[in-house]
Amino acid sequence: MGEPGAQALRAVAAMKPRWVLHVDLDQFLASVELRRHPELVGLPVIVGGSGDPAEPRKVVTCASYEAREFGVHAGMPLRAAAKRCPDATFLPSDSAAYDAASDEVMALLRDLGHPVEVWGWDEAYLGADTDDPAGLAQRVRAVIAAETGLSCSVGISDNKQRAKVATGFGKPGGIFTLTDANWMAVMGDRPVDALWGVGPKTTKKLAGLGITTVADLAATDSTVLTATFGPTTGLWILLLAKGGGDDDVRAEPWVPRSRSHVVTFPTDITDRTEMDNAVIDLATRALHEIVEQSRTVTRVAVTVRTNTFYTRTKIRKLEQPSTEREVITAAALAVLDLFELDRPIRLLGVRLELATPP
């Protein structure tokens, strides 16, 4: 590309958007499967594991809206999903197909000529200096549907956090706008965890202060919040409650920050050698993918889930970035050593965090 063209792209990427659109693909994994199995459209479909609902210890990755009407949701054991929705069609997860479908969608979004910040398989932010954000959102939905057959919902606002919340009101397959004009009318009476980024622990602490709704939080004196949560978190959640957030849409390609693998055992394990072998295998598989991408590992995390579903993750920083198998597996085993491991283990996971590429 010539220098004038490159300058134009840099100018677009640096432009502060007047609007932020959050694009979220509806029931993404299930929708990708329905493209391959159109005969299942309108029927309950559940994606997870090898597609065998009798397979022990496997969970639902995604459920179609029809399956969700029976109470099926992501993270539910496949066996439980089969009991709730016995007539559902179960399909195996296919990461390669989801990667390809996601790439299709993100390429289409970039072709619209606005900065696009990808946040994963099924969602992205689009920054747009436009007088007609709803018209652009309609175009996004129409282009994605026409070119890929997939449905998406779009939230419109002036920052990422508020746009993300708006998308929830548009699902499935719709568009919703949240601005200062309607923020408190829509959100004021909702619980604080309706704000993106406010989780159970923060919600519990806020409840202890008598703060249960978004309006309560927005009206709270900042000194009360900073005394409880610290200056950074306290002021951030106050900003969220008032509808504020981050409006910087970065156009750089999405780059994974980690690679991870987990294993749920058919039966709980207690033997340390089995645990060590599993951790080594998980770390090796994740490392192989990292080396293929010419990335390096900076930190190693291990997740342990016991038979009581108690789950904990511990992490260790490497002395220096590495792709040496011996270094990575030794670090993973050292992190495993940090756990007491006095109960049967249901699940083990290894996450390798990556150095930021230059």
DSSP H or E run through 32: helix 28-36
| DSSP H or E run through 322 | strand 311-322
- The full 3-state SS of 243-311, as one line of letters, equals CCCCCCCCCCCCCCCEEEEEEEEEEEECCHHHHHHHHHHHHHHHHHHHHHCCCCEEEEEEEEEECCCCE
H or E element: which one contains 82? helix 78-84
Task: Choose between 179 and 146: higher pLDDT.
Answer: 179
Are the CB atoms for 255 and 290 separated by under 8 Å?
no
Residue 56, SS3 per DSSP: coil
Residue 151 has pLDDT above 90, yes or no: yes
Cα 71 from Cα 84, distance rounded (Å): 7
Q: Which secondary-structure segment (H or E) carries 235?
A: helix 231-241
Instruction: Of 49-58, 188-197, 209-218, 338-347, give the lowest mean pLDDT range.
Output: 49-58
Domains of the chain with bracketed CATH: 18-26+96-177 (3.30.70.270), 28-93 (3.40.1170.60), 186-241 (1.10.150.20), 258-354 (3.30.1490.100)
**Residue 358 corresponds to which tokens in the numbers above?**
């230059």
Number of Cβ within 10 Å of residue 25's Cβ equals: 22
Read off the pLDDT of each residue in 55-61 and give the average, rounded to a whole number: 87
Contact 150, 144 (CB under 8 A): yes
The whole-number average pLDDT for the span 166-183 is 96
Catalytic residue among 33, 123, 319, 340: 123
Task: With a cut of 90, say whether residue 326 has pLDDT above it.
Answer: yes
326 in active site: no
Q: Which stretches of 139-283 are assigned E, i.e. beta strand? A: 152-157, 175-177, 258-269
pLDDT of residue 17: 61
Which pLDDT band holds residue 95 (cuts at 50, 70, 90)? confident
Q: How many CB atoms lie within 10 A of CB 215?
A: 16
